[in-house]
Amino acid sequence: MKVFKFGGASVKSADAVKNVSLILKKYKEEDVVVIVSAMGKMTNAFEHLINSYCYAKDEVKPALNNIIDFHNEILWDLFPNRSHQVYVLVNELVSQIEDLLEKDIDERFDKSYDTFIGYGELLSTTIIAQYLTEQGIEVNWIDARNLVKTNSDYRQATIQWDKTKEVISASCTKGIYISQGFIGGNNHNEMTSLGREGSDFTAAIFAYCLDAESVTIWKDVPGMLNADPKYYPNAKKLEKISYREAIELSYYGASVIHPKTIKPLQNKDIPLYVKSFLNPIESGSVIQQSDKFDTILPSFIFIKDQILLSITPRDFSFIAEGNISEIFKLIADSGIKVNLMQNSALNFSICIKNDERKVTKLIADLAKNFKVLYNEHVTLFTVRHYTEDTIKEVVGVKKVLLEQRTRQTARFILQEE
């Protein structure tokens, strides 16, 4: 069995879906599980819908209409015959969303979030499965909510591996299957989600459970690059990468693959290919077991929209085990992920995503025992395998608020202009 993953960009329009179908035609006779994300930026659109439902009822209708209109445009192009059964299936999903929007809001935001967020994937896979069938590719649509079994940690659910393996291996045996990335189901038959951009992880889960021969992530870039071409136009492709290096890169924020993807693959020694859906015959990158591959090509990783918090005990005590554990308890409770930390005698600094709701609460919680200062609009910039020249090239004259270096990795917090 092979596992493929197609992300939002690869299915963002009718033409993009046609392209996916052309790629899959070549695998018609093979056994493949195809994991698909929500189309284009639809997960953001669903986040907007959920926020409206929870905090701004007036905006619910336009937010939902935006989602419906976006899918309709794709549907009309792919299925000119308006009596095609895909319209019935899509309408069914839309009425489920409408029914859910009528219900009372659960006070746990994350639970409400997971009730809706996966509809982007349910819609995309429904539309694409119907289109592939139309194109003569026999596919089985399977429901990840019944296959990827998780706990109830909404928005970042943990996989129950034994159960998941049991159901997935019983369900995917022969032929082509299509399922949703990013979502799962808990023991109460509720939908859960695995964290934004989690579809790569879903592909790895299926691969692990099926002892797949490989995973291929189809992207709009030619492979795993040493930088995001949006921020660094001279980006080059990394041909072969070890699991270890890939984990390091994704840990530091390289957005090509979701950080949780590598571990299940490494555990079963399953190679991961990153290939271009625009140019499918090109070789792409491969991530697999080896200590030899990693070249010394420097990799640049930019994480924008961060905030740097500087935390000082009010009673002038040193930063030590006791208060670090207090600080970390508050951070863990807030659900915030720390991207970089550093301490001095009286000061503990953390760099985190500037998620306003969570950060405001964290600062308030910390303020009881600590003085908290912050710098907004900062970028966390990491260079793996750095040289002084590569650092100079990117940091240039930017204001450096904090710097950290090990032998392989240099990290900078830069003030955005």
Which of ligand ASP, Mg ion, none lies near 198, with the C-beta cut-off 5 to 8 A by kind? ligand ASP
CB of 5 to ligand ASP, least distance (A): 8
Q: Contact 127/17 with Cβ under 8 angstroms?
A: yes
Q: Does 198 bind Mg ion (CB under 5 A)?
A: no
C-beta neighbour count of 104 within 10 angstroms: 6
Q: Of the candidates 13, 37, 27, 384, which has an alpha carbon nearest to the alpha carbon of residue 214?
A: 27
Tokens found for residue 192: 């859960």
Contacts 24+ apart (CB under 8 A), 133-138: 134/78, 134/79, 135/21, 135/25, 136/25, 136/28, 137/21, 137/24, 137/25, 137/28, 137/176, 138/28, 138/175, 138/176
Query: At which residue do the structure tokens 């989602």 appear?
Result: 67
CB of 141 to ligand ASP, least distance (A): 17
Structure tokens at 401: 């608020």
Nearer Cβ to ligand ASP (143/403): 143
Write out the two tokens for 371. 């003085």
Nearer to ligand ASP, 7 or 185 (CB): 7
> Is the dihedral angle over the CA atoms 214, 215, 220, 225 positive or is it negative?
negative
Minimum CB distance to ligand ASP, residue 183 (Å): 8
Q: How far is the CB of 48 from ligand ASP (least distance, A)?
A: 13
Is 196 a binder of ligand ASP (CB under 6 A)?
Answer: yes
- Asked if 8 touches Mg ion (CB under 5 A), the answer is yes
Decide whether 197 or 248 has the Cβ nearer to ligand ASP: 197
Residues 31-90 that bind Mg ion (CB under 5 A): 37
Nearer to Mg ion, 8 or 313 (CB): 8
Distance of CA 63 to the CA centre of its chain: 22
Task: Name the one range near ligand ASP by CB under 6 A: 13-21, 152-160, 191-199, 408-416.
Answer: 191-199
Tell me if 125 contacts Mg ion by CB under 5 A.
no
Nearer to ligand ASP, 43 or 171 (CB): 43
**Residue whose C-alpha is closest to residue 192's, from 153, 162, 165:** 153
Specify the residue, 120 or 284, whose C-beta has the smaller distance to ligand ASP.
Answer: 120
Q: Does 259 bind ligand ASP (CB under 6 A)?
A: no
- CA 10, 149, 166, 93 dihedral sign is negative
Interface region with Mg ion, contact rule CB under 5 A, candidates 5-13, 94-102, 203-211, 372-380: 5-13
By CB under 6 A, tell whether 155 contacts ligand ASP. Answer: no
By beta-carbon proximity to ligand ASP, the closer residue of 19 and 375 is 19
- The phi and psi torsions of 411 (rounded to 5 degrees) equal -130, 140
∠ CA 81-85-90, nearest 5°, is: 105
User: Pairing mode, if any, of strands 272-276 and 214-219?
Assistant: parallel
Within 215-254, the residues that bind ligand ASP by CB under 6 A are none
The contacts of residue 216 (CB under 8 Å, 6+ apart) are 2, 3, 4, 5, 272, 273, 274, 275, 284
273: helix, coil or strand? strand
7 makes contact with ligand ASP (CB under 6 A) = yes
The residue range among 12-20, 35-43, 125-133, 285-293 that interacts with ligand ASP, by the rule CB under 6 A, is 35-43
Which residue's CB is nearer to Mg ion, number 45 or number 246? 45
The option from Mg ion, ligand ASP, none interacting with 181 (CB < 5 to 8 A, set by class) reads ligand ASP
Residues 72-101 that bind ligand ASP (CB under 6 A): none
What does the binding site for ligand ASP look like in residue numbers (CB under 6 A)? 7-8, 37-38, 43, 120, 181-182, 196-199
Question: Applying CB under 5 A, which residues contact Mg ion?
Answer: 8, 37
